């Protein structure tokens, strides 16, 4: 069950990954750190920001964005600058990519990375277009 996250943990993840997350994404995650969303094709589990507030939150956020991104980058065709923000449980990832004009800031556009083909396909212009389950 998702819960709010303190902004300091969002900032810690940004520092660790060397990027700034899009404002709409941070706003959504500040309210519900993780959770499920739907697209026309699939159900997705959003990775949370690692929350070290207490043992319960540490346990609930063990599959956090920075850890999952590092694991995703081990795949040969995963985008080197991509940030994994969710999974469908079958090896595919929801991905944010850096803004073309500001490489340290992630764009709002959300992509799906398909592990079997290495294909990257846009699925929404922002997190706001996806449906919370």
Per-residue pLDDT, 40: 80
Per-residue pLDDT, 38: 86
Per-residue pLDDT, 1: 60
- The verdict on residue 1 lying in a domain is no
- The verdict on residue 98 lying in a domain is yes
- The verdict on residue 2 lying in a domain is no
Q: Which of 12, 18, 36 is nearest to 85 (CA)?
A: 36
Stretches in the chain below the pLDDT threshold 70: 1, 132-133
pLDDT tens digits, residue range 13-27?
A: 999 999 999 999 999
Domain count, the chain: 1
Look up the CATH number of the domain holding residue 32: 3.40.1580.10
Per-residue pLDDT, 50: 95
CB-based contact 71:64 (threshold 8 Å)? no
Structural domain containing residue 39: 7-132
Predicted TM-score (pTM) of the model is 0.94
């Amino acid at each position: 069950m998702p819960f709010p996250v303190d902004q300091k943990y969002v900032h810690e993840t940004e520092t660790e990954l060397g990027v700034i997350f899009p404002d709409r994404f941070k706003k959504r995650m500040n309210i519900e750190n993780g959770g499920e969303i739907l697209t026309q094709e699939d159900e997705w589990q959003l990775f949370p920001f690692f929350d070290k507030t207490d043992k319960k939150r540490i346990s609930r956020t063990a599959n956090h964005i920075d850890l999952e991104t590092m694991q995703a980058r081990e795949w040969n065709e995963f985008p080197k600058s991509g940030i994994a923000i969710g999974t469908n449980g079958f090896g595919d990832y929801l991905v944010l990519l850096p803004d073309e004009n500001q490489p340290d800031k992630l764009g709002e556009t959300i992509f799906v990375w398909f592990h079997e083909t290495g294909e990257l396909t846009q699925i929404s212009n922002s997190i706001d277009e996806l449906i919370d389950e």
